[in-house]
Amino acid sequence: MKQNYLYILFLLLFVACGTSKKAESNKTVPTTYKHDSNTIHPEFALFHVTDNITELHYKINSKELLYTRPDGINFYTNVLISYRLYTNFDSKDVVDSASVRLVDMNNDNSDKILIGKMNVQAVTPRSYYLRINITDLNRNISVATGIEIDKSNDLNRQNFLVKSKVDDVPLFHNYFKLNEQLVINYKAKMGVTLFVRYYNRNFPLAAPPFSVAEPRPFQYKADSLFTIQLDQNGVANFSTDKKGFYHFQLDTSKRTGLTLFNFSETFPEIKKAQDLVPPLRFITSKQEYDELSASTNPKAAVEKFWLNCTGNQDRAKEIIRKYYNREKDANLFFSSYVEGWKTDRGMIYLIYGAPNVIYRTAYAETWTYGEANNINSLSYSFSKVDNPFSDNDYILDRSAVYKQNWGIAVDIWRQGRTYLQD
């Protein structure tokens, strides 16, 4: 069905502010990296419109909501969107909160993208932690997520709002397609110059979790430099036909700014035959991988590899679907300055699947496969990296103790089975 973008009008708005409220601990997080078809997968974008107000833009797919007929005639959603603002990740003191009721009528069951925004009372020059809950009251299901709000300066990515020029819809992710027409909005309504650093790099995929090799430092020097001009309203058009990533800055003496990425024409999905081979490096020998890479028909070579693993055509099709679905999800969840599947978290996700439990702090994540606090469970810890291009960059705390379990997990894939069922 045709997909429509719909800006939502709200029927009810409840606002509460103060510092006396207490909230639950943020350190144990639901398994937000599980792409469950029975839940909601909202997307968010932040934009500092003034020194006192930050806009929270959100996007929800109507297909993930339940429409009912409360009046016996028309089908409506009944979704509650709420947030709580904390002074930092570890705080339990709520400094601002608000809720809105999202009601959309959809009698023809059309596929819509529901888009709206809320104003968050966040003042400069401070940083905050925003916890957002979305509840489909018709289905009685709820999802939660957390976002850091950085109002410490006027130069970082949250001072920019990027939109599609065609649809006037915010870009809810940091990647775009070649020749896509974008509009970059800056917080200050003034004509200034944006300096753009362009990078066209081919980064290696993550090393195995038992590897002790030190990662190579990123070379910050750009491959090329150019400028674009913001008009008097703080707006500029942007489009490019060159793959790579682009770092937009107002002040080149600092490294902070807005970064947009073009990884491939089909990203985050995998649709080209040549893109099927690289993710297999995690479960192949060097000789196998070299032979796959040298094949003149990569699709047939990949299908033969999986057929040899499963011994059955139908099982091969099923395991191919699961493996590359995990790669797509890794791209959605973990992309930073490299594709998500190439990152440390993406590697673990691709082989092991979504963790059962996630423990999160302001600067780290620990994934547990199995029961929490069970000595037999497997855990991986990731530390957040201070990265000028992305706030989604984490590095694995590697250890030789992972070697045996990693080998078992890889062997399970090579036997034509998934390590964990999706």
DSSP H or E run through 313: helix 313-334
How much is the pLDDT for 418? 87
For 385-405, the pLDDT digits (tens) are 999 999 999 999 999 999 999
* Residues of each domain in the chain carrying CATH 2.60.40.10: 3-152
For 313-340, the pLDDT digits (tens) are 999 999 999 999 999 999 999 999 999 9
CB-based burial, 213-224: b 16+ in 10 Å, e otherwise: eeeeeeeeeeee
β-pairing verdict for 3-7 and 111-121: parallel
Q: How far apart are CA 63 and CA 3, in angstroms?
A: 11
Both tokens assigned to 305: 């590899």
Q: Which of 158-162, 212-216, 258-262, 361-365 has the lowest mean pLDDT?
A: 212-216
Q: Which of 5-19, 135-149, 261-275, 333-347 has the lowest mean pLDDT?
A: 5-19
Residue 15 has pLDDT above 60, yes or no: no
For 25-37, the pLDDT digits (tens) are 445 555 568 777 6
DSSP structure class, residue 157: G
Both tokens assigned to 103: 């009601």
State the average pLDDT over residues 343-358: 94
Minimal CA–CA distance to 416: which of 294, 327, 321? 321
Residue 359 CB coordination number (10 Å)? 16
How much is the pLDDT for 31? 53
Using an 8 Å Cβ cutoff, are 82 and 143 in contact? no
Q: What share of the chain is helix, strand, coil (3-state, %, to 5)?
A: 20, 35, 45
Domain 3-152, CATH = 2.60.40.10
CATH architecture of the domain 160-262 equals: Sandwich (2.60)
Mean pLDDT score of the chain: 90
Using an 8 Å Cβ cutoff, are 372 and 357 in contact? yes
Residue 289 has pLDDT above 70, yes or no: yes
How much is the pLDDT for 84? 97
For 187-218, the pLDDT digits (tens) are 998 899 999 999 998 888 999 999 977 767 77
Give the three-class secondary structure for 340: helix
Give the chain's radius of gyration (CA, Å): 23
The structure's pTM equals: 0.89
Residue 115 has pLDDT above 90, yes or no: yes
How much is the pLDDT for 33? 83
Q: How far apart are CA 46 and CA 32, in angstroms?
A: 19
Residue 144 CB coordination number (10 Å)? 15
